[in-house]
Structure 1
């Protein structure tokens, strides 16, 4: 039933598509057709052999991955032919007049053979040797022997290009699998010495490099700080030796490109080029010869054709969570990049939804999880209203992932990592903070006790949450006039202690750029040299800041926002100070991993500043529960994970729990359902966890400048913030 529904959907799309169809052959019916979408300009070739599902082929991505045996382009051509064709002719099949080897896109990829009735004895023997009774690959023969056997028959056998690529890929896979086993055995025996990079690798890093190089297209999901970059560079060196790769594309966030350049120059002797500048500049750069080419995700959207024209052998996606939304334009364009080998890097392969993992895996192997409709049907649990309540069959998903996915946690390699100690330092609200904080809390409590919430009420709830968070840092973030901040006072007390000695350095994080600037004022008062990094800093300036902190012994503190801190390697420091805790544990670990990572030779101290008795302390208690789905999918043995979907009526119940307010006696669900639904979260704190993630996104949009002076112009400012949030969500 599910497959029939999906086929029907494609027929409906065919009728609505208004495709332009051209017959490319000489035959009236059984021919090749060019199908053009006038809206997108996309063109695909459809080959018609009959009118039944499975008879035909198309070059579009959907046909290659949906396992249905049809697509909207095939259905559009068939619909067009049926208009002028008598019913009895629609039952005919194309007569096979020449032998042809093609790739069958069924549940599994298989070589297949079109065998004409009249053929030589040698061709008949080849067909029986390699194919079954349906002329599909039987597995009895070896791919290495197939092409020579084809060349030995008297007929001119056509081998389609995708079939030839498949044979070549299977031969390569078998060869590298044998090499991997040989190397892993040597590694276990302590006798492996590949000497891939000028620095020694830990055993788990060598194992990672072997996995990435030998499996062809893979995902490395190691915890932050375990050396994903160095494992990737080692894998590329191995591929250069064994498979002759000479063009490697690295796609990374814009803020990380220069970090990749630094690592490549440090650990390899390969030529590296950063793509940057105007369209004309980039066009000239793409014409240059280089081994490594570094681009950011936004450039892929603009330059995909130029990138594919370069024909990279290997594509590396760094921080691949950028493509977790399969509907985003960036995700769609990245998945159109072509290469033989692929290495996908992400420390957070999944946060709250399996759909995000599916999107990332699509880039590596679009058929690994099957079509999206089948994947969702197999792994999601829905209630009678269609709401997501949990995931199932995770053992089958892990089984499918195993050949392409490698993940090691810090715990697994802890003996090879320096020690880390975490401390939470509580501070009290000052009276100057408490008064406006209580005003915001009272306003929030009054809103949450209403029987129903209007659209404006909901926006005011989110604004109150933002104000309360900022007030926990400093009154300056709230009113831009006063600056009462016990946290900054505590920071001033901590810094001399943390920097005691000649070689200690500190990295301090805040979500708010304004808070970072206030921390800088504290350091000025203490006479401590520092640098500041934030998301608005240009790439070259960012590089200069990193170099100063890493090389200047007098520069003792690195101040950074979360937007600026992505992709940093700051092992020269040994202390992380979080001026406030992010509401997403993955972001917290990313901060700490800037310092506590491979290359760190000293124990690392982590200091978290939390304002006692406020929303910050309540959020502190929710951080651990946000990891439950992540652990269940990749680290656990359970076959099912059940949770309650955080539907719209539940969202503000979670807010009430966060701020300690009781639920009103009646809430009108119909009105509440107008709130955009956040991602479902995991038991035991499902509602709280999901809401924290949503509120975190909101906080990232509603900055201090946007919420300042809300009262005089509340509706306009909140509407602007809501629009900004919508843009973030769309991206």
Structure 2
């Protein structure tokens, strides 16, 4: 390639692209390290459908990769240098999002919570929500607590995951929803939820109002207009309004593109030893006491929840927690400062901090009666701890050894890797299981994974991993991220069993493993789904075996398992938990609280059975079959239409990705002459080009996409690629003569054959159009033959693909006037297309504003009609009144209503004027955003010959 051709390629790779361009996501698709499915590309493009849109709701069914869809949107905005991006998620999904953005899109993120926020403030960062070059991830609770800070940031994009948590934002009781709606009213948003409509159409109104308050009028007018959907016209009207803001794809519609495997459940039953049962009985009675010194300051319910779980985990877990509580009471008696119990137990139960963030509980003040019994309580706790430490063998541990044998036999039948992922909720139980398994046939085959990963084993594995991957971009420089990657790789390549705490359920992909063992079963269905999702996910080749344990001596444990298995369908089938049931529980922490209350208050099997039956009834009542049918009709499209569209999307995105990869590699080959050796799979950089640091472009192997494990991942966003693109774009190239070699090209281009032996001119210009708060670049490649005849637009572009040589020109000739006319024609063509497209955007927004204004006016008129109906009722009552007093009463009531109606009518005129004024002002603002500024920049002119 000549410098002219690389310059053209550089502009193609880096031009700013309009929302209607088929190449919009092309560069992002090259950078994404995933096998993109067409429904994900389609969803991302839906989010970009109009630059005037305030956002969208992506409502694909569970398991279709809404995180990837949002990741594509985020990556595209990042590439456009719109980098004030906020991701709000449930607390337990923060690390998963952090990892997905880093691994799949090479985007760095910052998890912002109370500790990191304070540290950034201390370090002098005035606005921690605007860190340099990082996406911000935080929980709903943290976002709500910092709503004033959020309001001050001019966000380019806000993504909200599990957004159904906010669907009741129209209710005054939804404090978090209201705070975030107000704080982020100015920000474009992408809401992710599999259940946008659960029990009431008002939930849909709430979610849509979070995105754009002008899709519908106010709440009363929405109720009046869409409260009853019996009328077909009303239904069609609502569906039409929703189609511009909400997109939903179903699993069955993507079956041609995604191969799903099944979940196979296995249950291992056990009976605790007499000593274990005695310990459980003593601690259970202790936790049920009305007054406890060890649990106070508004955290009794939360800490009780943790202790019930540790009690079910192992004697080691509960023994350690009891010792922590006793030590705290002893320090209290000695008048020594002690840490908050919630902080000390966080070491035993890793999910405590995240559970606490979503927990609310009233404070309680210690009474004199409580303080008087502190000494006795600490002695009791020490006695329970002593009993726990005498129990060395746990019946559930022995059951694990049996279960492993059975499960590995099932994996052998499935021809899957003989690997197991064991989850526990306690770090102490993790240590116990390691000790247990090291005395079994699995000795030497175990790796631990937890929230700190600072043990001797993890440090050794991390050090070996650093040596193995030295000089590659596998090493991020973050000790936490690199250690996690090292442990996963060790599990994949060397170990047979990974024992993980809840940290292992977040942000790691273990498709090579197809056995998940819940040694401790969380009560939160969302956490269980997260755990199983480490293995049962896109890319899994085998059915996934899921093992759970049931304590035969504990009826409450048995009922918890039945509820999770049967009601939530977590452990078998193809897709796991259903949208409907997961959607009903909102925050899984609230569901955990209800189960904890049953453990806390029920003492016999009859009480336990009754309470669980009531919980199941409550869940059933929350799943409204009529609303599910309404959701289906409102938000789902015909399978055939969706599948046809997805087939088209697949072809478009594959073509765009391939073309951009080819452009990038061709440009790289030309620009790195003398610096790299190329082959069909990539290139080896022998020396870092001038102007780049070895950190940005270290010598070594580069591949696009990465095929071998140790190669650097080359992509359009890589610092080396960016530098080469900028280098090629920035050259000042004089007019020149190029001779193109048709026979040297690897493919036949039939339309160019007729031009062989001819010559002519090519001119490249870049037209930039600024409108709608953004800029778009259009490449105007004008071509003519020597006699002035214009080349077809595609032929001019194809000509630049051929190998060429720059020829010496003795006396440069002047290009014909027809070349300028061709450039003007292309300029007019693109300008007309942009104007037509922007007119479409404008019309759509105006129609939306008109519908919004009509909704509000209809709402006001309906108020008058309601008063008129009431007046008629009063007149009827007056006409049949039996006494004078009654008649006078009804006459008085009629006058009051008529006065009220007249006042309302007068107010309607003022309100309608106000609504029309708002509409006019919004249209003026739209017109200002649509006003465009165009400029033209000449890049190069060449004279061409085609051999």
TM-score (norm 1): 0.48
Structure with larger Rg: 2
Higher relative contact order (CA 8 A, sep 6+): 2
TM-score (norm 2): 0.39
Of Structure 1 and Structure 2, the greater helix share is in 2
